[in-house]
Amino acid sequence: MTQHTQVILAGIDFADPDTWRLTNYLKRGGYKALRKIFSEKISPEVVIDEVKKSALRGRGGAGFPTGLKWSFMPRQYEGEKYLVCNSDEGEPGTFKDRDIMRFNPHILIEGMLIAAYAMGIRTGYNYVHGEIWDVYERMEEAVEEARSAGFLGNNILGSNFSFQLYNHHGYGAYICGEETALLESIEGKKGQPRFKPPFPANFGLYGKPTTINNTETFASVPWIILNGGEKYLELGKPNNGGTKIFSVSGHVNKPGNYEVPMGTPFAELLELAGGMRGGRKLKGCIPGGSSMPILPGEVMMNTNMDYDSIAKAGSMLGSGAVIIMDETTCMVKALERLAYFYYEESCGQCTPCREGTGWLYRIINRIEHGKGRQEDLDLLDNLADNIQGRTICALGDAAAMPVRAMLKHFRDEFAYHIEYKKCMV
Amino acid sequence: MINIEINGKQLEVPKGSTVMDAAKQLGIYIPHFCYHKKLSIAANCRMCLVQIEKAPKPLPACATPATEGMKIFTHSDQAVLAQKGVMEFLLINHPLDCPICDQGGECQLQDLAVGYGESASRYQEAKRVVTNKNLGPLISTDMTRCIHCTRCVRFGQEIAGIMELGMSGRGEHSEILSFVGKTVDSELSGNVIDLCPVGALVSKPFRYSARTWELSRRKSISPHCGLGSNLIVQVKQNRVMRILPRENEEINECWLSDKDRFSYEGLNSEDRLSKPMIKRNNQWITCDWQEALLFVVQNLKACVSQYGGRAIGALGSPHSTLEELYLLQKLVRGLGSNNIDHRLRQSDFRADNYQQGIPWLGMPIAEVSNLKSILIIGSNLRKDHPLLALRVRQAVKSGAQLSIVNSTDDDLLTKVAQRAIVAPSELVRTLAQILKAIIEYRYVEIADKIKETLTKVNVTDVTRAIANNLVSNQPAGIFLGNLSQHHPNYSEIFLLAQEIAKVTSAKLGVFGEAANSVGAYVAGAIPNRKLGNLTTNGEEVGLNAIQMLNAEAVSACKAYILVNLEPEYDTYNPQSALERIKGAEFVVSLSSYKGNITDYADVILPIAPFTETSGTFINTEGRVQSFNGVVSPLAEARPAWKVLRVLANLLELKGFDYETSEQVCTELLSDYGNVADHLNNRINEFTVNLNEANVNGIERIGEVNIYQSDPIVRRASSLQLTRDAHYPRAIISPSLMEKLGLRVGDKITIKQGVGESQLEVEQSESIPDNCIRIASAFNQTATLGGMFGEVSVKRM
Amino acid sequence: MLSTESLKKIDKEIAKYPADQKQSAVMSALAIAQTEKGWLSSETMDFVANYLDMPPIAVYEVATFYNMYNLKPVGQYKITVCTNLPCALSGGNDAANYLKQKLGIGFNETSADGRFTLKEGECMGACGDAPVLLVNNKRMCSFMSNEQIDRLLEELKK
């Protein structure tokens, strides 16, 4: 198999419990990008340009071009501005940010430093998913290491750039992965998404201009600064720059994180993950985290892993969480579990999501338990229609899309379940 | 301005308008639940989704800003499909209990379901049931009906200034509730009933008493605080069933205080008088009007012939109408007495010699919201004037600096920039300090009389900061609250406040204590008609309220005419008031309620409260508001203006030939001209003596609690169950507690004058040292003396 | 109400935010309070509200919104098993069932000896390690085969 260039996980010794420490990060060339900015006096504008050139897109799920997002921050704004890292990784199937912070926390800190420098920000928060408490504690330690070594604080490395970084932990709410819900949560409130506009770049944390990026996005930045945006773009493919960490879970032999270039064929990724467990056939795959539409196995096997290719195949790359389901998987049961998740995690703010997710779940639950009616399938489809695109945030869409895709690709299986009151598989 | 198009119609809207604003401008209705013009935008109900050209999905009209060239379709297929979809979701868990729901007939959900709902439901799963919450005596809950619009939550956070309701849990399990076991205690709480678009929060006193379509809606004016809030009174079978706000942006906006809203229960109180009563041979008997009136006439005439007209004293309530007070003073003056007053809780009348006009708010009510600096002197603002407190809160929200000089540090539920909390005896000195600080800062000239006083005070950090606030933030307003007006040094407070206002270019205002505090001056219900800018015909100055009721007065009144008041609750010093009144030879009380009147009167004439008579109130900003009766008088009760007219006729006084209350009002106001021309807070300078205020022992801080302020509210049974209506306690600072060796809950005896009262001790950090806060207007404290002054304490 | 040690920890969290944004520390304050007390009684929430100058109902909103807070007493060890789809595909439900059987309790129940409470969890962001479970919110256990579960329970029973 080809040895790919790695941007984030390169040089990590997963067996070494101290691989995350500052000393080891420095040995791997850590904080060189930051030093380069200071020593070569690279201006904030050039930093943003480099990121634009790299075609780096947000790794949290939405895939918004990072350089463009950074350029939205009001540069001349006098007051406080904030930089926020979204490490609230709770999209089922996604576990890449956890490994970045576990094994390479300083790359995130360096990435945030560069971003803060580029946007003239002095304060940052890293919002860590509540369930990975050990990772939160590790981040606290890493931030402390960086502070003691002069990488965080006032006049960093003797420059006139100052930046403070704090970790904030979640405590069990998927919705806080939504950027405005996350801001509300940092403000000490329920994580209920805000209506946009205004966007965080104008009205973010504490009402101040704020930029929010995903952990993996920030972690990609030091490499871009060291090697140039164009080099990064070349690692992947046009409009889909760089590498991506794919979290592969489900029916594979070696579930885990794999950092590969954008555009890598799915088949190759599957092979990296040890292939199908028990040699069984791939039935379906959710290629971008549980909120994205499922694709049938045969479609996946002919698709490459990048934003555009997956979109063309009928789904979305999302957070890069690849959930593999083999032929033994009951799609009704699988959807029931996902529907339950969205029903549990709806924040309750907007009517269609609050009321609709429970309705969806109850219908699918009935079907799973042999109490379905054939007309339920059209009803499910119609309810998903009535939720999607009608809510403040994307959780409504996230609850609706899996339902519609399942019915699109596996409708027969649902119909069978209703008629025979049992699984097809 | 921005050009947009809605449903094919072009229009121009101001930049920053939302699609909802724009649609309103065209009179196009977009269905909605969570949107409310006075609250922040939540965009959570999703009912107002509309189609916007080039937008990939329908957008909420309430939250979407209009942009140049935007084309909006509020009733296109896409929009209606989205709205219908939302309506279906809203209804799946909403109970079908409209037939027993109080909101039925005025329910937004019900109304919109007719337009957007289907006749049958596709929802075949179990419906949600949510347990009800006990939010206190005013708000009843049916939480299963809640549609989670969060209007009630936002109202608390944004308008009432206190978040008492929240939405717990998440998703389908979200519930609106208060913190574990807590009731909703805001003095504005009833507004959430109006805001709730469904029947989740409904009025507890009104619950199950009528269907909304059985009620007629009649306009009226609130008789309680100085604002004169505009009301809708709802009536069924000649009974007031409910009171709702009538929107008036310039006065109460769309809000009502709980006092305005729930006091109506007092109108239907069992204590209402249905027939006149007279005391014969120490026995009270009911009688007909003829007998009662002749009894009054006979006694008044006897008094006049024996002692002269000046032996008669009249006290009218500032909650009475302009017409009632006008006829009362006309009658009394007709009998040859100028002893009339409405300032029942005022104790210092020296300013009467210096006042230039009628004290008033000093600006329109709405202007309070636009002030950038506010100094409030001696006021329990939230409780005395709940909706003015709201205006102050609005001002602070948009950046105003609020300073307080007061004797209690109550939570105003807004940011207070500076506060000087001092004993009542220190109030004058504190104001002198503020004035001095400004003069030191600005080097402005002031009258020598005052200048000299200032040499005797030293400016503190706090008073300097207050001075700075006033100087640096304009426009500024300085207001005198009820505590100032009741204070034994009201004249000095008034004068110093005026001087501070002068040197800071601030406007000075007096918060009118009652609905007709300004009107009473206009009516001439004052011992010196000059105070109301009225023609005096060279008449002598009569006795003011404190002189009429002062037990030690030499020139005592032999007969009293009391209108709409209970002296044990409504006067500054109930001890001496009762002694004086009980010692009189003849007392006639015109009252809606029996109360304790039989203890001291000789005849009681049952009069109609504001809902049963036409009349006029002139509010604290000088606005003349006339209203009609909304129901006919209870039993044989009659409007007081009619009673006074007939009485005058029987007394053979001239000029009492009115057939309607409008004639009374016209007679009064046609000569008087524009009320606004007579409003003036100017007061001539006099020498301020700072030593007058000295009190040696423990000082009382008197106050009138929100639900004790007038005869109607004292009988509003649900309000009497609220926390604000708690029986009176002796509230003491921790240091004084220690000094006196008291513990919370101890019973103590308070002695004041010749009377005493047993009260429970409560500790509070909000009271200055050496002071005890004791409310008046309670049975338990009516034995005490004046609202301020020295008291002694004994542990029981 | 809370130990000085807990208060020190809360103060450290408060220091992370602007001076006028104490409320930002409410999530960590509640977590710290829960670690000390085991669960969040209304007295505890009221205390936290006072400490952070928040309306008590706003604290209650937060405590009920995030599902790792215990609003009722729980056993000495609260075990939360992820049964979400990716975990379920790799034995999440088996682990949950095994725990139910071993402990003799269902989800949201506490064992008679007061030692264990079992909870069903949502995605913990560790799907590659399935089956995963959390002990008392803070200790994550990966690859929880039946043998691993046996070992864990042995350890916790000590």
Query: In whole angstroms, what is the distance from residue B172 CA to residue A359 CA?
Result: 10
Is it the case that residue C135 has pLDDT exceeding 50? yes
CB B786 within 8 A of CB B574: no
Q: Are strands B507-510 and B476-480 parallel, antiparallel or unpaired?
A: parallel
Return the residue of B nearest to C42 by Cα.
B180
Between chains, do A129 and C28 touch, taking CB under 8 Å as contact?
Answer: no
**Residues 6+ away with beta carbon under 8 Å from B772:** B698, B699, B700, B701, B730, B731, B732, B736, B750, B791, B793
* pTM, rounded to two decimals: 0.96
* A255 and A219, same domain (yes or no): no
Rounded to an integer, the average pLDDT of B275-292 is: 96
CATH number, domain at A415? 1.20.1440.230
Return the residue of B nearest to C62 by Cα.
B168
Contacts of B155 in chain C (CB under 8 A): none
B51 touches chain A (CB under 8 A): no
pLDDT of residue B553: 65
pLDDT tens per residue, range B595-645: 999 999 999 999 999 999 999 999 999 999 999 999 999 999 999 999 999
Question: Is A161 within the bounds of a domain?
Answer: yes
* A171 and A36, same domain (yes or no): yes
10 Å CB burial of residue B9 (0-12, 13-18, 19+) is: exposed
Return the residue of A nearest to C27 by Cα.
A188
Structural domains in chain A (count): 3
- For B503, the token pair is 């040197």
Query: In whole angstroms, what is the distance from residue B133 CA to residue B769 CA?
Result: 40
- For B568, the token pair is 């044990």
Which chains share 3+ C-beta pairs under 8 angstroms with C?
A: A, B
CATH number, domain at A318? 3.10.20.600
* A132 and A154, same domain (yes or no): yes
Query: In whole angstroms, what is the distance from residue B122 CA to residue B129 CA?
Result: 19
Tokens 């409130």 belong to A189
Between chains, do C57 and B170 touch, taking CB under 8 Å as contact?
Answer: no
Q: Which of A326, A352, A382 is the last residue of a domain?
A: A326
C58 touches chain B (CB under 8 A): yes
* A204 and A253, same domain (yes or no): no
pLDDT of residue B424: 95
**Mean pLDDT, chain C, as a whole number?**
97
Q: Name the DSSP letter for residue C156.
A: H
Which chains share 3+ C-beta pairs under 8 angstroms with A?
A: B, C
Rounded to an integer, the average pLDDT of B341-360 is: 96
10 Å CB burial of residue B529 (0-12, 13-18, 19+) is: buried
B92 φ, ψ to 5°? -60, -35
pLDDT of residue B694: 60
Question: Is A354 within the bounds of a domain?
Answer: yes
B30 φ, ψ to 5°? -115, 125
Question: Is A105 within the bounds of a domain?
Answer: yes
A318 touches chain C (CB under 8 A): no
Query: In whole angstroms, what is the distance from residue B374 CA to residue B402 CA?
Result: 5
Residue-by-residue DSSP string for B167-232: EES-GGG-EEEESTT-----TTTTHHHHH-SSSSEEETTTTTS--GGG-EEEEEE-SSSTT--EEE
CB A213 within 8 A of CB A114: no
pLDDT tens per residue, range B383-415: 999 999 999 999 999 999 999 999 999 999 999
C68 touches chain B (CB under 8 A): no
**More confident of the two residues B671 and B301:** B301
Q: Name the DSSP letter for residue B145.
A: G
* A310 and A294, same domain (yes or no): yes
CB B419 within 8 A of CB B378: no
Between chains, do C61 and B182 touch, taking CB under 8 Å as contact?
Answer: no
Confidence label for B691 from pLDDT (cuts 50, 70 and 90): low
Query: In whole angstroms, what is the distance from residue C88 CA to residue C106 CA?
Result: 17
Tokens 């012939």 belong to B305
Is it the case that residue B183 has pLDDT exceeding 90? yes
pLDDT of residue A283: 97
Chains A, C: CB contacts within 8 A come to: 158
Residues of chain A above pLDDT 90, percent: 96
* A223 and A265, same domain (yes or no): no
Best residue in C13, C27, C94 to probe A by mutation, most A CBs within 10 Å?
Answer: C27
Between chains, do B46 and A346 touch, taking CB under 8 Å as contact?
Answer: no
* A229 and A309, same domain (yes or no): no
Question: Is A9 within the bounds of a domain?
Answer: no
Residues of chain A above pLDDT 70, percent: 99
Query: In whole angstroms, what is the distance from residue C33 CA to residue C59 CA?
Result: 12
Confidence label for B695 from pLDDT (cuts 50, 70 and 90): low
Return the residue of C nearest to B180 by Cα.
C42
Between chains, do A250 and C61 touch, taking CB under 8 Å as contact?
Answer: no
Confidence label for A3 from pLDDT (cuts 50, 70 and 90): low
Question: Is A153 within the bounds of a domain?
Answer: yes
**Residues 6+ away with beta carbon under 8 Å from B670:** none
Q: Which of A201, A235, A269 is the last residue of a domain?
A: A235
Is it the case that residue A1 has pLDDT exceeding 80? no
Tokens 């100058």 belong to C53
Rounded to an integer, the average pLDDT of B318-338 is: 98
* A192 and A269, same domain (yes or no): no
B628 touches chain C (CB under 8 A): no
> What contacts 24+ positions apart, CB below 8 Å, involve B727-730?
B727/B778, B727/B780, B728/B759, B728/B774, B728/B775, B728/B778, B728/B780, B728/B781, B729/B759, B729/B760, B729/B761, B729/B762, B729/B774, B730/B759, B730/B760, B730/B761, B730/B762, B730/B772, B730/B773, B730/B774, B730/B793
**Residues 6+ away with beta carbon under 8 Å from B660:** B614
The residues facing B358 across adjacent strands are B679
pLDDT of residue B375: 98
* Residues counted in chain A: 425
Confidence label for A122 from pLDDT (cuts 50, 70 and 90): very high
Q: Name the DSSP letter for residue B695.
A: -
Query: In whole angstroms, what is the distance from residue B608 CA to residue B629 CA?
Result: 9
- For B341, the token pair is 């007053």
Question: Is A353 within the bounds of a domain?
Answer: yes
Contacts of A399 in chain B (CB under 8 A): none
pLDDT of residue B671: 87
Is it the case that residue B554 has pLDDT exceeding 80? no
Closest by alpha carbon to B644, among B316, B185, B401? B316
Rounded to an integer, the average pLDDT of A302-327 is: 96
Contacts of A389 in chain B (CB under 8 A): 56-58
**B 474-493 residues with CB below 8 A of A?**
none
Chains B, C: CB contacts within 8 A come to: 38
Tell me the residue type at B286: T
C20 touches chain B (CB under 8 A): no
pLDDT tens per residue, range A157-202: 999 999 999 999 999 999 999 999 999 999 999 999 999 999 999 9
B20 touches chain A (CB under 8 A): no
Between chains, do C61 and B178 touch, taking CB under 8 Å as contact?
Answer: no
C-alpha distances out from residue A291 to A176, A316, A338, A405, A409, Å: 15, 9, 9, 10, 16
> Nearest CA to CA, how far is B185 from chain C (Å)?
13
pLDDT of residue B486: 98
10 Å CB burial of residue B118 (0-12, 13-18, 19+) is: exposed
* A102 and A116, same domain (yes or no): yes
pLDDT of residue A69: 97
Query: In whole angstroms, what is the distance from residue B530 CA to residue B528 CA?
Result: 5
Query: In whole angstroms, what is the distance from residue B602 CA to residue B662 CA?
Result: 31
pLDDT tens per residue, range B130-181: 999 999 999 999 999 999 999 999 999 999 999 999 999 999 999 999 999 9
Return the residue of A nearest to B34 by Cα.
A350
Buried b (16+ CB within 10 A) or exposed e, A181-195: bbbbbbbbbbbbbbb
pLDDT of residue B441: 84
C-alpha distances out from residue B25 to B9, B18, B42, Å: 11, 11, 21
Extended strands (E) in B620-754: 624-627, 698-704, 730-732, 747-752
* A223 and A270, same domain (yes or no): no
pLDDT of residue B456: 87
Return the residue of C nearest to A95 by Cα.
C125
**Residues 6+ away with beta carbon under 8 Å from B280:** none
Q: Name the DSSP letter for residue B156.
A: I
Q: Which of A203, A235, A267 is the last residue of a domain?
A: A235
Question: Is A261 within the bounds of a domain?
Answer: yes
The Cβ-side half-sphere exposure at B407, using a 13 Å CA radius, reads 31
Identify the domain containing residue A115 by its residue range. 22-235
Chains A, B: CB contacts within 8 A come to: 91
pLDDT tens per residue, range C77-130: 999 999 999 999 999 999 999 999 999 999 999 999 999 999 999 999 999 999
Between chains, do B178 and C57 touch, taking CB under 8 Å as contact?
Answer: yes
CB B607 within 8 A of CB B594: no
Name the residue facing B123 among A175, A190, A359 (closest C-beta). Answer: A359
Contacts of A255 in chain C (CB under 8 A): 90, 127-130
Name the residue facing C90 among A91, A249, A341 (closest C-beta). Answer: A249
* A322 and A337, same domain (yes or no): no
- For B242, the token pair is 């409910």
CATH number, domain at A192? 3.40.50.11540
- For A37, the token pair is 């900015």
Between chains, do C126 and A172 touch, taking CB under 8 Å as contact?
Answer: no
**Mean pLDDT, chain A, as a whole number?**
96
C-alpha distances out from residue B541 to A332, B520, B527, B560, Å: 93, 17, 6, 18
Name the residue facing B86 among A351, A363, A379 (closest C-beta). Answer: A351
**B 171-230 residues with CB below 8 A of C?**
177-182
Best residue in A249, A326, A330 to probe C by mutation, most C CBs within 10 Å?
Answer: A249
* A348 and A320, same domain (yes or no): no
C-alpha distances out from residue A142 to A136, A358, B289, B559, C144, Å: 10, 41, 91, 88, 28
Question: Is A10 within the bounds of a domain?
Answer: no
Torsion angle in degrees (nearest 10) through CA of B381, B382, B385, B387: 130
Torsion angle in degrees (nearest 10) through CA of C133, C135, C140, C145: -40
Name the residue facing A348 among B57, B122, B172 (closest C-beta). Answer: B172
- For B425, the token pair is 């005896």
Best residue in A175, A187, A349 to probe B by mutation, most B CBs within 10 Å?
Answer: A349
Residue C140's SS3 state is: strand
Best residue in B17, B33, B46, B108 to probe A by mutation, most A CBs within 10 Å?
Answer: B46
Rounded to an integer, the average pLDDT of A260-285 is: 96
Closest by alpha carbon to B700, among B743, B746, B751? B751
**Mean pLDDT, chain B, as a whole number?**
96
